[in-house]
C-alpha cells in the first residue's frame, strides 16, 4: 500500500512538473478531468487551458471554470493547432489602458533640430505591418517634405485639403485623391505650400477640420509643423485676420501625441528648454515625447546621453528622453536619392533608433503581453523555451541580427557611439 501511494505521488509530481513547463494544455472537459483545483493549478503555472467539449453539459462546466470558448471533442487537429497559435477571442481589458494616438505632431524649436526628418522616418516606421499612415506638411515657414522626398509640390497638397475641409467636402476618398503615395511604404503625403507666402491658406479653422478628416482616413497621421509658437500677431492687431502660426497652434491642439525634437548639442538643448514652456502651455495635458536628435559624443564630451538627460530633467522637468544618433552618411544617401532613410539604409543606427522609439512611445504594446496570465483572461504565453532552443544559421542570420539589435538596447547604443567616434 505504501509503495502504491509513493507511485501515485511520483506520478502526480510528474504531471505537475509537465504542466508547469508547458505553454498550453489541451483538456477534454468532464467532471473527472476538470475542476476549480485544476484551473487554479494551471493559473499558478501560467499555463493556458484549451478545452474540448462534447455536449452542452461540458460547455457549461467549461464556462463555470472560466475557460475560453471550447472546441468540439472531435475537432480536426489543424483546428486545435490554430487555436493554440491564435489569441483567444476575448477582448483584453488592459488594452484600453493606453489608447492609440491617431494624430501625431512633430515639433521642435528654431535652429533645424530635424523635425522633418523625424516626421518622415516616424511615418515610414509606423506604416510597417500594413498600416496606412498619412504624412502632412503643415509648416507655414519652411515646408520641406516634398523637396526632400522628390515629390511634386505643385499639386493640391495640404492647402487643398484645408480648403475642402472648410467647404465640408473633405472625406477619405478626397484625401486619397489629393495625397501623393511615398513609393511602396504605405505612406500617403499631403505636401506643403510650394511658396511660403501662401501661409494665409492654412488658417486655424481649416487645419483643425482637415486633421479631423485625417483621423478617419489613416491609421496614423504624422504632422510636421513650424517652430514658432508666438501669438504676437494678436497683440499687434485686434482684427480677426490670418495668423502665420495658426497652423502650428491648431495642429498642436488637435494632436493626440506631440513629438518634441531637440538638437542633442548644447545650443539645441538650450533652445529647446527656452521653448519647452511655451509648448506645454499650448498643448496642455497632451502627452509629449521628447527626442534628442543628432546625438554625438564630440559635441558633449564624456557621457553625452547622461548630460542631455540630466539637463532636460533639471531645467525642463523632462523625465524620459529618446535618443537618435547622428548618421550623416545615411542621411546624405537618402537626400541624394530623394527617399526616406529607412529605404536607403534600413540598418542604419538612425533607422533602428526611430523604430525603437515608434514601438516604445507611439504604438501600444501587443495585447498578449498586457493581459493577465490567468485563465480568466486568457492570453498565449510567449514561447521562451522555443526561442532559446532555436539554432542560429546563416540562412536566417539577418533576421536574427535585426531582432537582437532592436531588442537589446545597450549594444546598439555602444555601436552608435563607436561609429560616431570613428
Task: Answer yes or no: is pLDDT of 414 > 80.
Answer: no
Do 30 and 163 have their domain in common?
no
Task: Answer yes or no: is pLDDT of 140 > 90.
Answer: yes
CA-derived radius of gyration, the chain: 27
The residue among 386 and 321 whose pLDDT is bigger is 321
Q: 296, 362, 343, 288: which is closest to 323 by C-alpha?
A: 296
Domain count, the chain: 3
> Looking at residues 64-76, what average pLDDT do you find?
81
- Residue 388 pLDDT class (50, 70, 90 cuts): very low
Q: Is residue 377 included in any domain, yes or no? A: no
> Looking at residues 225-237, what average pLDDT do you find?
74
pLDDT of residue 376: 38
Q: Average pLDDT, whole number, for the chain?
A: 80
Q: 311, 312, 308, 279: which is closest to 296 by C-alpha?
A: 308
pLDDT of residue 232: 60
Q: Is residue 111 included in any domain, yes or no? A: yes
> Looking at residues 296-323, what average pLDDT do you find?
91
Do 161 and 20 have their domain in common?
no
Beta bridge pairs of residue 323:
292
CATH of residue 52's domain is: 3.40.50.2300
Do 145 and 17 have their domain in common?
no
Q: Is residue 372 included in any domain, yes or no? A: no
Task: Answer yes or no: is pLDDT of 312 > 60.
Answer: yes
Residue 396 CB contacts under 8 Å (≥ 6 apart), including other chains: none
pLDDT of residue 55: 84
- Report CA dihedral (74, 78, 83, 87) to the nearest 10 degrees: -160
Note whether 304 and 332 are within 8 A (CB): no
Q: Which domain holds residue 48?
A: 2-86
Q: In this predicted structure, which of 38-47, 115-124, 368-377 has the lowest mean pLDDT?
A: 368-377
Q: Is residue 373 included in any domain, yes or no? A: no
Host H or E run for residue 136: strand 133-137
Last residue of a domain, one of 86, 119, 143: 86
Q: Is residue 21 included in any domain, yes or no? A: yes
pTM, 2 dp? 0.65
Task: Answer yes or no: is pLDDT of 418 > 70.
Answer: no
Do 15 and 136 have their domain in common?
no
- In angstroms, the CA 368 to CA 70 distance is 19
The residue among 304 and 399 whose pLDDT is bigger is 304
Residues belonging to the chain: 422
- With cell 526632400, the residue in question is 148
Do 169 and 28 have their domain in common?
no
The residue among 6 and 312 whose pLDDT is bigger is 312
- Residue 217 pLDDT class (50, 70, 90 cuts): very high
pLDDT of residue 99: 56
159 φ, ψ (degrees, to nearest 5): -65, -40
Task: Answer yes or no: is pLDDT of 104 > 90.
Answer: yes
The residue among 338 and 3 whose pLDDT is bigger is 338
Beta bridge pairs of residue 195:
none
pLDDT of residue 404: 40
pLDDT of residue 373: 38
- In sign, the C-alpha dihedral spanning 224, 227, 229, 235 is negative
The residue among 371 and 49 whose pLDDT is bigger is 49
Do 79 and 211 have their domain in common?
no
Do 163 and 191 have their domain in common?
yes
Task: Answer yes or no: is pLDDT of 47 > 70.
Answer: yes
Q: Is residue 10 included in any domain, yes or no? A: yes
Q: pLDDT tens for residues 149-160?
A: 999 878 789 999
pLDDT of residue 417: 47
Do 78 and 110 have their domain in common?
no
pLDDT of residue 158: 95
> Looking at residues 243-251, what average pLDDT do you find?
93
Do 81 and 101 have their domain in common?
no
Tell me the CA end-to-end span of the chain in Å, nearest whole number: 76
CATH of residue 132's domain is: 3.40.50.300
- Residue 79 pLDDT class (50, 70, 90 cuts): confident
Last residue of a domain, one of 38, 66, 86: 86
Do 204 and 248 have their domain in common?
yes
CB count in 10 Å sphere of residue 11: 10
Q: Is residue 48 included in any domain, yes or no? A: yes
For residues 39-69, one letter each, b for 16 or more C-beta atoms within 10 angstroms of the residue's C-beta and e for the rest, the string is: beebbebbbbbbbbbeeeebbebbeebebbe
Q: 359, 421, 403, 350: which is closest to 121 by C-alpha?
A: 350
pLDDT of residue 287: 93
pLDDT of residue 398: 41
Q: In this predicted structure, which of 69-73, 351-355, 418-422 has the lowest mean pLDDT?
A: 418-422
The residue among 9 and 129 whose pLDDT is bigger is 129
pLDDT of residue 178: 94
Task: Answer yes or no: is pLDDT of 389 > 60.
Answer: no
Last residue of a domain, one of 86, 114, 137: 86
Do 260 and 401 have their domain in common?
no
Q: Is residue 131 included in any domain, yes or no? A: yes
Do 55 and 74 have their domain in common?
yes
Amino acid at each position: 500500500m505504501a509503495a502504491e501511494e509513493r507511485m501515485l505521488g511520483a506520478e502526480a509530481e510528474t504531471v505537475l512538473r509537465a504542466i508547469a513547463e508547458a505553454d498550453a494544455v489541451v483538456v477534454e472537459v468532464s467532471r473527472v478531468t476538470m475542476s476549480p483545483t485544476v484551473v487554479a493549478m494551471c493559473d499558478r503555472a501560467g499555463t493556458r487551458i484549451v478545452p474540448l467539449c462534447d455536449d452542452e453539459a461540458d460547455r457549461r462546466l467549461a464556462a463555470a471554470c472560466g475557460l475560453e470558448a471550447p472546441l468540439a471533442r472531435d475537432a480536426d487537429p489543424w483546428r486545435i493547432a490554430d487555436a493554440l497559435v491564435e489569441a483567444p477571442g476575448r477582448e483584453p481589458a488592459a488594452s484600453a489602458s493606453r489608447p492609440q494616438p491617431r494624430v501625431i505632431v512633430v515639433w521642435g524649436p528654431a535652429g533645424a533640430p530635424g523635425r522633418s526628418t523625424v516626421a518622415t522616418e516616424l511615418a515610414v516606421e509606423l506604416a510597417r505591418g500594413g498600416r496606412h499612415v498619412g504624412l502632412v506638411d503643415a509648416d507655414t515657414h519652411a515646408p520641406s517634405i516634398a523637396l526632400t522626398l522628390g515629390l511634386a509640390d505643385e499639386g493640391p497638397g495640404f492647402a487643398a485639403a484645408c480648403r475642402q475641409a472648410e467647404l465640408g467636402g473633405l472625406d477619405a476618398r478626397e484625401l486619397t485623391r489629393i495625397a501623393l503615395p511615398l513609393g511602396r511604404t504605405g505612406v500617403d503625403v499631403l505636401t506643403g505650400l510650394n511658396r511660403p507666402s501662401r501661409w494665409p491658406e492654412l488658417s486655424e479653422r481649416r487645419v483643425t477640420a482637415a486633421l479631423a478628416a485625417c483621423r478617419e482616413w489613416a491609421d496614423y497621421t504624422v504632422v510636421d509643423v513650424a517652430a514658432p509658437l508666438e501669438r504676437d500677431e494678436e497683440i499687434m492687431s485686434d482684427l480677426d485676420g490670418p495668423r502665420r502660426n495658426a497652423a502650428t497652434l491648431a495642429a498642436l491642439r488637435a494632436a493626440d501625441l506631440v513629438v518634441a525634437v531637440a538638437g542633442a548639442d548644447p545650443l539645441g538643448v538650450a533652445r529647446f528648454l527656452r521653448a519647452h514652456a511655451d509648448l506645454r502651455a499650448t498643448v496642455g495635458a497632451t502627452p509629449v515625447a521628447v527626442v534628442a536628435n543628432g546625438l554625438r559624443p564630440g559635441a558633449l564630451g564624456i557621457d553625452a546621453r547622461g548630460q542631455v538627460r540630466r539637463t532636460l530633467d533639471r531645467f525642463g522637468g523632462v523625465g524620459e528622453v529618446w535618443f537618435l544618433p547622428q548618421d550623416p552618411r545615411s542621411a546624405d544617401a537618402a537626400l541624394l536619392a530623394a527617399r526616406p532613410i529607412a529605404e536607403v539604409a534600413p540598418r542604419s543606427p538612425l533607422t533602428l533608433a526611430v523604430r525603437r522609439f515608434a514601438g516604445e512611445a507611439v504604438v501600444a504594446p501587443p495585447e498578449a503581453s498586457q493581459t493577465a496570465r490567468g485563465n480568466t483572461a486568457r492570453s498565449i504565453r510567449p514561447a521562451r523555451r522555443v526561442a532559446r532552443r532555436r539554432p542560429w544559421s546563416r540562412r536566417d542570420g539577418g533576421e536574427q541580427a535585426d531582432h537582437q539589435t532592436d531588442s537589446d538596447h545597450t549594444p546598439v547604443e555602444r555601436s552608435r557611439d563607436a561609429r560616431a567616434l570613428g
